[in-house]
Structure 1
Amino acid sequence: MENKTEEEVSIIKVSSLTCIDLDNSDLHQSAVLLKQACLDSGFFYVINHGISEELKDEAFEHSKKFFALPLEEKMKVLRNEKYRGYAPFHDSLLDPENQVRGDYKEGFTIGFEGSKDGPHWDKPFHSPNIWPNPDVLPGWRETMEKYYQEALRVCKSIAKIMALALDLDVDYFNTPEMLGNPIADMVLFHYEGKSDPSKGIYACGAHSDFGMMSLLATDGVMGLQICKDKDVKPQKWEYTPSIKGAYIVNLGDLLERWSNGYFKSTLHRVLGNGQDRYSIPFFLKPSHDCIIECLPTCQSENNLPKYPAIKCSTYISQRYKAVHAHLKQT
């Protein structure tokens, strides 16, 4: 066996994560498990979520059909200024210190559409979606809209347990002001190529997600790695496998801010192994005007807020612009 560097040895490890049963009627029991998972790694699985395997398989099949289209057809739905639509390969640069160019992935973003007469219709992250030609991909939009609503439902169920884990009322997050009109994006991803960290080549560079939580479905092709402690050097990376019938959930930076650093967002990345890989993450963020400030149960006289209060849409806009600003500089 060849000699391996410390990082090469560490990434062979497979992570062991807590599994949360969303069908468990004892929410407080689930909250205890979830709280420990959030303190340990910020990643966990959820099972008995109510999303059928048939619907998930259909969403993946439709995703593959879109990415198999000629580039000129995909470019007809190129992502607009509201971050809806198709993003070509190398469009995002998540880890500029270690990546030589953007991620080796392409994507398609579908977002939340509120009422046309609602207060957020014309605001960033709430505009109408753009869709592939139904003559080219019949049934595509209908499947994605159905899957989107199911993913949103599951995230709101997790938010109830998350609230209890933070010693809040079970419906603390599920209010019109917080998750009533969420900035919630579902992204279809297609990864290609073989990653080589020694050369700065990644399917997806190391990052933590921007929002509250992320619900991830993958096609089973190994590639996702997590770093449970982002402050330890050298970083230790572990593969996180897919489990049939389960979703992977991870915390985002907004929840870390909201909890005053009590719960941590988790660094993760994707390494390609030469196989095509597909995933469908659902990124949940609060409503446009929701003010993110230290939660009441995370405050104490000696524990001053580590982060200033900020409006959700302002924070998300800043993070999105930073990702794409790096590309313009390279």
Structure 2
Amino acid sequence: MESSTLLLPIIDLSSPDKISTAQLIRRACLDHGFFYLMNHGVSEEMIKKVLSESKNFFSLPLDEKMVMARSDLRGYSPLFDEKHESSLTSKGDSKEMFTYGSSQGVLGQLYPNKWPSQDLLPLWRPAMECYYNNVMDVGRKLLRLVALALNLEEDFFERVGALSDEAPVVRLLRYPGELNPSGEVTCGTSAHSDFGMITLLATDGVPGLQVCRNKDKEPNVWEDVPGIEGAFVVNIGDLMERWTNGLFRSTLHRVVSVGKERYSVAVFLDPDPNCVVECLESCCNESSPPRFPPVRAQDYFHERFSQTLASYSTGLKI
């Protein structure tokens, strides 16, 4: 069955009217769990630079990439390293990944980034660090608006320690894009919801991203989400769903192969590992009691990564 195209709400981050913008974000999170973010302040030139440098890295021979293979949550992941419960093949997902984060803070010291050598890719590290810093500014601004959308104080997520350490990570992704000769759907990323608070995605314009707005309905109905040049595609993660007692739902999504190589950059706004995620008072009452028990972010991520990443080490130090 062919999928239809989903017209997502467009949020303008440059709007001076924070309350109206917060209300638009609330409606988008209630209806879709996904939206486009425009005028966010990260230039198209910077996004294209990161995508270009990402392509340079993934073009390296496999043995050179494996020197930077992940041993924890940062580094290179080869094809089929990630496998979700919904994977359509026993091999796992057809994609390569490279994950990095901040060099600052406790996490930056415990899990240092694995950078390609300057001789190999001289412009790589400066481009990636600049992108990280710029998108973090966007993420902090967006989270303040999400707090307002939930009828909370603007600095709520800072006050509960969600941003105490620089836990967010950037994941570079390459999808080979081959089609299954049998005609069956081939997934670069199988159906899943993201684990953290919020994800910001930039793509090279090649289609493939699909969402399923009702993850409890069988069979799943998939809709295409086209890219908009210069815009981030933003979606709610599982921990935000837990915070909001299911009010803001983490939306099932996947990337299907379209016969063309595809590059994207996902920024996962993950909370500090020691942050305890528990139902917000504004999202529960007598008729709608808390659906999820409180959980420490680190414990939640440990459980989820253990289920999905073949190369995930259980010896994490936090």
When normalised by structure 2's length, the TM-score is: 0.93
| 1:165 Cα deviation from its structure 2 partner | 0.8
Q: Which deviations, in whole Å up to 9, do the C-alpha atoms of 1:19-73 show, x marking residues without a partner? A: 1111111111011111111011100001110001111111111000000111111
RMSD value, Cα = 1.9
Match status 1:100 vs 2:84: no
Match for residue 169 of structure 1 among 125, 138, 153: 153
Tell me how far apart the structure 1 counterparts of residues 164 and 82 of structure 2 sit (CA, whole Å): 29
Aligned position for 1:251: 236
Give the number of equivalent residue pairs.
Answer: 311
1:265 corresponds to 2:250: yes
Gaps of 5+ in 1: 1-7
Residue in 1 that maps onto 2:315: none
Partner of 1:292: 277
Query: 2:86–2:192: 8 Å Cα contact kept in structure 1?
Result: no
Alpha-carbon distance, 1:195 to partner: 4.2
Distance 1:156 1:174 in 2: 9
Shift of 1:193: 3.0
Alpha-carbon contact 2:83-2:92 (below 8 Å) kept? yes
Which of the numbers 253, 267, 274 marks the counterpart of 2:259? 274
CA contact (8 A) 1:93 1:326 kept: no
How far off is 1:265 after superposition? Answer: 0.2
Contact 1:104-1:204 within 8 A present in 2 as well:
yes
Question: What does residue range 35-74 of structure 1 map to in structure 2 within 5 Å?
Answer: 35-74=26-65
Alignment of 1:80-95 (within 5 A): 80-81=71-72, 83-95=73-85
Asked if 2 retains the 8 angstrom alpha-carbon contact of 1:225 and 1:240, the reply is: yes
The yes-or-no answer on 1:30 pairing with 2:21 is: yes
Aligned to 2:192: 207
Identity, in percent, stands at: 42
Give the superposition deviation at 1:183: 2.1
In 1, the alpha carbon distance for the partners of 2:157 and 2:88 equals 36
Q: Distance in 2 between matches of 1:171 and 1:113?
A: 24
Partner of 1:5: none
Deviation at 1:107, TM superposition (A): 0.7
Deviating 4+ runs (over 4 angstroms): 195-200
The offset of 1:203, in angstroms, is 1.1
Tell me how far 1:98 sits from its aligned partner: 3.3
Q: Deviations over 1:182-220 (max 9, x none)?
A: 421100000013344975631110000000010000000
1:225 equivalent to 2:217? Answer no
- Amino acid in the other structure paired with 2:7: S
TM-score, length-scaled by structure 1: 0.90
Deviation at 1:151?
Answer: 1.2
